[in-house]
A and B are shown apart, each in its own frame.
Chain A
Amino acid sequence: MHTMPNSIQSSESNPDIILDVRKLRTSFRIAGEWHAAVRDISFTLRRNETLALVGESGCGKSVTALSVLDLVPSQNGRIEAEQIQFNGRNLLGLSEDEMREIRGNRISMIFQEPMTALNPVLSVGHQVAEALLYHRDMNKEEANRAALELLDQVKIPSASSRFKEYPHQFSGGMRQRVMIAMALACRPDIILADEPTTALDVTIQSQILALLGELKRDTGMSLIFITHNLGVVASIADRVAVMYAGNIVEIADVDSLFAHPTHPYTEALMRSIPRSDRDTETLHSIPGQVPPISRMPDGCRFAARCDLARPICRKLDPALQQINAGSTHEVACWVRGDHDLTAIEDRANG
């Protein structure tokens, strides 16, 4: 267990860190104006670690992942950051060709909707083999052979006979396995999995989660796992970052987070996990919704939905702070964080 807080860890001092994102801000242009969807977030990812990004829709989780790979649409999207350090190399300012060398090769991505994320007119085998064609020195035959092995590895039954079939001939779970095989093709250091199980039904979900866990163990890769479902997080993540309205509001090791959920939003998410050992009456939904990025309030963005909100919450935006000295558990909350509230409120009013 590292004793250093997340926010000041750096890859220079720690070769164990594969990805170090600092002050990432991704904005979109809406009706001629730029609005940040991700606001100055920082996080690190260690080798062979699974970091879960959790939050409701519209909290900036997917945008964060897309920003790492520079896949945000360039006409109306903009990525700014202090650094996006991958394996000691800053991805910011890399040329399109250099970035392409990394995409699908060193860092790859799995998308939410396996139906729309696969090209309907290209065969499944070809789509898996493609990454190998462009990143490995392989001819078509070799790439196809390797792709077939990958399909076997993700446990697609009778893969060789289905190699030439098209996405519409596969079930949802099988399509997601194809997506995983594609992401896995070049043995990447990091896989960014954007809600990979959300579109699937529960039994298939647990199969895919088990598969991802197994692959991570076998290949030593790191995983960023994006989900809105905290229930899934417990079974797969090592560390969790809870995102709300473009900010990380709480970040902690998974055990610590589940033992001491600190941010009111994390608590609310916890309460909304369906659990078999509790009464259905205790299952809560969070009232209200995430504000759209074009209409972000001042102060803490969760204040409007928060039972604990104080006047200060609507004025100043809290920063991430350790819940107690030396802890890796950090939270951004005036009320729950380690703050001298009266002093801050006095200063804000004075």
Chain B
Amino acid sequence: MTEKSENMPAPLSSSALFQEQVKRTFRSNKLTGLGAVIFLLVLLAAVFAPLLSTHDPLIQNILDRLEGPSAQFWMGTDAYGRDIYSRLLYGARISLTIGGVAILSAMVIGTAIGIIAGYYGGKVDDVIMQFNDILLAFPTLILGLIVVAMLGPSMQNMIIAISLTSIPGFARIARAPTIVVRERDFIEACRALGYRDWRIMVFHILPNVTSEVLVMASLWLATAIRTEASLSFIGLGVKPPAATWGGMIREGFENILDNPWLSIFPGLAILLVVFSLNLLGDGLRDAIDPKTRVD
């Protein structure tokens, strides 16, 4: 029992093992489940925003401007008389779309880069990873800021910017297990059988990388949504009058002294989504980490 050999970390998670771990995590760690439920609810709210909203998010009504929360306006109205609750619902669509598409594309590109660097090794690896590390060292927000500023603020450019800032992380995460798997005998066997490199990478290496990549994706989706909100707050987000959470805070900030709820509600919305994703990702990360895995 105390002998070293039996405390060796478990081998890399295959996808079956990953599913088993995830199931066990959801059973044993209630908070992970809570994170998933909250996120799912926000996702549903975004999808069904037209059904759930009580007002048109864009229609201005000067007579009702800066109303406090009431039965008519559940979370009050902004300086143009727009309903904050409805704008929050539509803002969720933008935040989740930008975050989701950006992380999805970063995941695909970053994982590909990481696997290629790890699989080929040598010069290819050196060049890719050196460039990667520099990007990684740069503050995400500054990087995103520059890219959006250069391309101009739009939904598509936000996705490109946030995706760019997330790619290096995925590349690093995907590279590490690739290097381990590359040395295994069955990869050697595949090579001996004359399999093409891409086939080995897609069918034999990728499955060994997915669990870690997916876990990090949930954590980095949280970061992406935070970055999107931050960029919108700075004024580089999707252009008004579209409702974005960061943009709503930015507009509300002008009336912070008298009408703090203008900033508080969207602020809490961002917090809730980011927190639920962190809760989820954190639990999943513990699940695949052999050190913290519960016996």
Contacts and interface: CB of A to CB of B under 8 A. Distances in A.
- Do A's and B's CB atoms come within 8 Å in the complex? yes
Most chain A beta-carbon neighbours within 10 Å: one of B2, B4, B5 = B2
Nearest to B2: A62
Contacts of B295: 29-31, 76
Interface string B170-185: 0000000000000000
A162 to B, nearest CB: 27
B4 A63 contact: no
Interface in A95-115: 112-113
Contacts of A31: 295
Contacts of A113: 4
Contact of A66 (B2, B4, B5, B6): B2
Contacts of B2: 62-63, 66
A58 B4 contact: no
Main secondary structure of the interface of B (DSSP, over half): loop
A60 B5 CA distance: 14
B1 interface: yes
Contacts of B6: 57-58
A28 B1 contact: yes
Contacts of A76: 295
B258 interface: no
Contacts of B4: 112-113
A76 B1 CA distance: 12
Contacts of A63: 1-2
A293 interface: yes
Interface string A107-130: 000001100000000000000000
Interface string A28-61: 1111000001000000000000000000011010
Nearest to A31: B295
Interface in B229-275: none
A238 B295 CA distance: 40
A82 B105 CA distance: 64
A281 B51 CA distance: 82
Interface in B1-29: 1-6
Interface in B158-203: none
A60 B3 CA distance: 9
B9 to A, nearest CB: 15
Most chain B beta-carbon neighbours within 10 Å: one of A58, A66, A113 = A58
Contacts of A66: 2
A279 to B, nearest CB: 30
Contacts of A60: 1
Interface of B: 1-6, 295
Q: What are the nearest 7 A-B pairs in CB distance?
A: A57-B3, A62-B2, A37-B1, A30-B295, A31-B295, A58-B3, A63-B2
22 contacts: A28-B1, A29-B295, A30-B295, A31-B295, A37-B1, A57-B3, A57-B5, A57-B6, A58-B1, A58-B3, A58-B6, A60-B1, A62-B1, A62-B2, A62-B3, A63-B1, A63-B2, A66-B2, A76-B295, A112-B4, A113-B4, A293-B1
